[in-house]
Structure 1
Amino acid sequence: MSLAYVCLHVGFKLGLPDGRWPLSAAALRPAARLLPMVCGITLCLASVAAAASPPSSSSSAAAGTEAGPSRFSADRLQRLDDFLAKATDARGYLGAVSLVVADDRVVQSQAYGYRDLSRSLPMQRDSIFRIYSMTKTVTTVAVLMLMEEGKLNLDDPVEKYLPEFSGMQVFAGGTADLPELRPANRKLTVHQLLTHSAGFATGGKGIEQATKLLERADLHGSADLEEFSRRLSKIPLAAEPGTVFRYDGTQMEVAARIVEVVSGQRFDDFLQQRIFDPLRLADTGFSVPAEKRGRIVDITVMGADGKLRLDAGPSATRPGERLNPYPSGAGGLYSTAPDFMRLCRMLLDGGALDGVRILDRKTVERMMANQLTFLNPPVTQFSDAEGFGLGGSVLLDPAGKGRLGPAGQFGWSGAASTYFSIDPKQRMISILLLQHLPNDAANDLPRISTRFYNLVHQALLP
């Protein structure tokens, strides 16, 4: 609306006591005489208001989206805001970004604290985070896209695409130096890779010797996914395929390698061309361009003295570079809250966003359904209240997990305190991004994702 139109409209309103819109030239004349004065007043008031207003707060909606659905309580959303502000004060996390969307409308969007250890650079809503294991959800989407195109089936044996995985052996006893092996009774399948039930020796009680063999292979030193898969295929399994859920990244690296073989593209090129570009994820990738690296958040750990310090790993000392030599399908991506929200919106909306279809609705429904029905109980190693879908956990028992909201919520997290949850029943997405590697020491920062999710659900009106 132009300023002239505003002045004219206000002049008419002032010219008529009852606020009626004048219909005749005669009726317009008194108002027209007031027009110059009204426009002057309007401009003056606008200038005063602009001077008195503080800088725009990042708690408003993201650009181009409407904020604040009426089914949320403003007072309770303020509790969420207060909680995150306190969690990122001088004694807490460096900073955080939260983003909540319901019915495709932004409910809450805020940046808190700082993105650097010296607490001199304010966090921004488009700050860039290492999302680590949230990468697994993206990798799963890539595999499911190829499944829909008829290029693979989830029940296919892995050796169909990666022959090196034929004739796998299982660790049956002995030590890492003198292992006792037996042939596996089952073949590895693509579905087992996506559900973390392939049987790889990924650490944990009772499989220490088998895990030593895996560690000696130095998988993370592989130059590419082909080498990673070749090294892994020579290591005996710790369990029969399809018999136990044991979460780890090795399985998703093999899934990423299958994407390369089936598509004929490098994994990072496939994601860029088939997912990131179509969904307009402008700040998501395996590395960060030099001109954007100032937006990367410092990654911290808690020191023995109770003070945060920079992590000593390469992702902290060389922010923006690849987290692995290869494009890791298990944990290699950088992203932002707005970017990852678009991926989540695609899933919540049944596989499509803004006219771009990535997956079929039925595929997304399968993705968000518990896949661990071959186990009794059908839950993860982490919680008796959670199952696992394809690329993320599925909430089975909210009370058992200490979570509000309905069963069926789907989501996952990253090692450096990044979290997302999709609630299909409430049509709501909640994202919380921090950048801290927990060490579970007594003086470490508290985990806050459950409290965050619960405050979001508490803000829903009855």
Structure 2
Amino acid sequence: MSEVRKKLHGSMILVALLLCAALPHTASASSPKASQGIPSERLQRLHEYMRKATDANSYLGGVTLLMRNGNVVDWQAYGYSDLARRVPMHKDAIFRIYSMTKTITSVAVMMLVEEGKLSLDDPLSRYLPGFAAPQVLAGGTAEAPQLRAATKVPTLHALLTHTAGYPAGLKGDEQAVKLMERVDPHGASDLRDFAARMSRVPLAADPDTRFGYDGASLELLARVVEVASGQSFESFLQQRIFTPLHMRDTGFSVPTAERGRVVDLTIMGKDGKLALASTESARHPGVPLNAYTSGAGGLYSTAADYARFAQMLLNGGSLDGQSLLKRETVALMMRNQLTMLHPPVTQFSDAEGFGIGGYVVLDPVRRGQLGSVGQYGWSGAASTTYTIDPKEHLVAILLLQHVPREDGGKDLPRISRPFYNLVYQALQP
């Protein structure tokens, strides 16, 4: 064997070893698909769809990963990772997962609940100053607000389930949103500063009276984790979740040497062509997404890393001998927590409730999508999504990097629904 071929052979072995190290330890990259109830011929439909969805006229590229019965049965990279479409997408590409961070933050909170350092019915004011006497915007405008005392104080449970009453973009929230924008909590330098700013924001509704998806609640919970644990939020996640689960590429920033693996973040321009998003992270991939360590949406991750986290939840809180949560705690997280509401559903679907950290499917038929009752998951603002299905022993992950337009203009079609339909059509008992 020539010296060049020896070096090439050695490099290929190293890459293979690195990819295997990134896989869940309980999984095998070569697990027979048929033995896990996923025939290869059925998966071809998914592969063909994803290749078309990442062709020259669509998304740059993406990574998909499917696990069943604790085994990786399909892990694919499609398209390209750069706007110039010169760098092929790789399975270990790094994505901004945005709101998929929320599930991780929720796990951190529940770990402290198990340790007796927090309780779900604790008022937020027990841990953070300025929240003991919340007020609700009852009328008027942002310039001349009419405030009243809230009927109750927000609890940690309310924050976890998006029922605390903070402005959430719902009809009637317009003036409350303006008041929050004046305080500019997202301009905070750290979580302590974020909480201090939010203490001056009135609620848009009384706690436990509606589901209103907001990011502020999870940022406040991240600060609660710091107060209750005595650690920075970043240190807590690293020591208590990422290191035990071997989530080597998950964090609030990406090491300089690894930033070439971060996928370009795109938007659809008014000219109908993809362009780089205008965020600092799009211009400088790998830099922190926020000045503070955002528990609502600040993490970067990979498909392999998030698969390990999701499999831990599917297993009931443990993976490869590492126990993060008790089985009963995970079962609680995956149970609909909106029973105080009528109907007990989210603002997004009348077929979905909300657990702790993610949606809970109540009625797949009404939802109009293949799936199971009790299916759990969430998505991120830049077209990332995951689901955990205890009934089917399934984890499915789709990672893209595109921010959909909010002005109703021409954009790429959302592909999460057909993705999941194609995943479920491939399943056999």
The aligned counterpart of 1:177 is: 143
**TM norm structure 2:** 0.92
The aligned counterpart of 2:421 is: 454
Give yes or no for contact 1:402–1:450 (8 Å, CA) kept in 2: no
Q: Given the alignment of the two structures, is residue 257 of structure 1 paired with residue 227 of structure 2, yes or no?
A: no
Q: Given the alignment of the two structures, is residue 65 of structure 1 paired with residue 29 of structure 2, yes or no?
A: yes
| CA deviation after TM superposition for structure 1 residue 202, in Å | 2.8
Give yes or no for contact 2:359–2:377 (8 Å, CA) kept in 1: yes
Structural mapping, 1:48-447, within 5 Å: 64-67=28-31, 68-70=33-35, 71-440=37-406, 441-447=408-414
SS of match in other structure, 2:243 = helix
Instruction: Specify the code of the residue in structure 1 equivalent to 2:251.
Output: G
Q: Structure 1: which 4+ aligned runs deviate by more than 6 Å? A: none
| CA deviation after TM superposition for structure 1 residue 187, in Å | 1.1
Instruction: Specify the code of the residue in structure 2 equivalent to 1:420.
Output: Y
Q: What is the percent sequence identity of the aligned residues?
A: 59
- 1:144 and 1:239 map into 2 onto residues whose CA distance is 26
- 2:377 and 2:216 map into 1 onto residues whose CA distance is 20
- 1:276 and 1:158 map into 2 onto residues whose CA distance is 26
SS of match in other structure, 1:365 = helix
| CA deviation after TM superposition for structure 1 residue 442, in Å | 4.5
Give yes or no for contact 1:69–1:105 (8 Å, CA) kept in 2: no
Give yes or no for contact 2:159–2:221 (8 Å, CA) kept in 1: yes
Q: Any unmatched runs of 5+ in structure 2?
A: 1-8, 10-14
The aligned counterpart of 1:3 is: none
Q: Deviations over 1:271-290 (max 9, x none)?
A: 00110001100000000000
- 2:260 and 2:216 map into 1 onto residues whose CA distance is 31
- 2:308 and 2:73 map into 1 onto residues whose CA distance is 15
- 1:145 and 1:337 map into 2 onto residues whose CA distance is 23
SS of match in other structure, 2:223 = helix
The aligned counterpart of 1:6 is: none
- 1:207 and 1:91 map into 2 onto residues whose CA distance is 37
- 1:110 and 1:207 map into 2 onto residues whose CA distance is 42
| CA deviation after TM superposition for structure 1 residue 401, in Å | 1.5
Instruction: Specify the code of the residue in structure 2 equivalent to 1:317.
Output: R
Give yes or no for contact 1:392–1:412 (8 Å, CA) kept in 2: yes
- 2:316 and 2:29 map into 1 onto residues whose CA distance is 20
| CA deviation after TM superposition for structure 1 residue 92, in Å | 0.7
Q: Deviations over 1:222-258 (max 9, x none)?
A: 0110110111011111111111100010000000000
SS of match in other structure, 1:79 = helix
- 2:129 and 2:277 map into 1 onto residues whose CA distance is 39
| CA deviation after TM superposition for structure 1 residue 375, in Å | 0.7
Instruction: Specify the code of the residue in structure 2 equivalent to 1:445.
Output: L
SS of match in other structure, 1:84 = helix
- 1:202 and 1:182 map into 2 onto residues whose CA distance is 19
SS of match in other structure, 2:196 = helix
Q: Deviations over 1:321-356 (max 9, x none)?
A: 110000000000000000000000100000000000
| CA deviation after TM superposition for structure 1 residue 461, in Å | 2.3
| CA deviation after TM superposition for structure 1 residue 203, in Å | 2.4
- 2:74 and 2:368 map into 1 onto residues whose CA distance is 23
Q: Which moved more, 1:177-186 or 1:362-371?
A: 177-186
Q: Which moved more, 1:309-318 or 1:197-206?
A: 197-206
Give yes or no for contact 1:69–1:102 (8 Å, CA) kept in 2: no
Q: Deviations over 1:95-149 (max 9, x none)?
A: 0000000001111110000000000000000000000000000000000000000
SS of match in other structure, 2:244 = helix
Instruction: Specify the code of the residue in structure 1 equivalent to 2:272.
Output: G
SS of match in other structure, 1:171 = strand
| CA deviation after TM superposition for structure 1 residue 69, in Å | 4.1
Instruction: Specify the code of the residue in structure 1 equivalent to 2:223.
Output: R
**TM norm structure 1:** 0.86
Structural mapping, 1:10-21, within 5 Å: none
Give yes or no for contact 1:199–1:239 (8 Å, CA) kept in 2: yes
Give yes or no for contact 1:69–1:107 (8 Å, CA) kept in 2: no
- 1:405 and 1:413 map into 2 onto residues whose CA distance is 16
SS of match in other structure, 2:62 = strand
Instruction: Specify the code of the residue in structure 2 equivalent to 1:421.
Output: T
Instruction: Specify the code of the residue in structure 1 equivalent to 2:104.
Output: V
SS of match in other structure, 1:342 = helix
Task: Indicate the RMSD between aligned Cα atoms, in angstroms.
Answer: 1.6
- 1:241 and 1:406 map into 2 onto residues whose CA distance is 30
| CA deviation after TM superposition for structure 1 residue 307, in Å | 0.8
Give yes or no for contact 1:174–1:180 (8 Å, CA) kept in 2: yes
Q: Deviations over 1:70-93 (max 9, x none)?
A: 211211101100000000000010
- 1:132 and 1:138 map into 2 onto residues whose CA distance is 11
The aligned counterpart of 2:12 is: none
- 2:294 and 2:371 map into 1 onto residues whose CA distance is 33
Give yes or no for contact 2:34–2:40 (8 Å, CA) kept in 1: no
- 2:106 and 2:294 map into 1 onto residues whose CA distance is 13
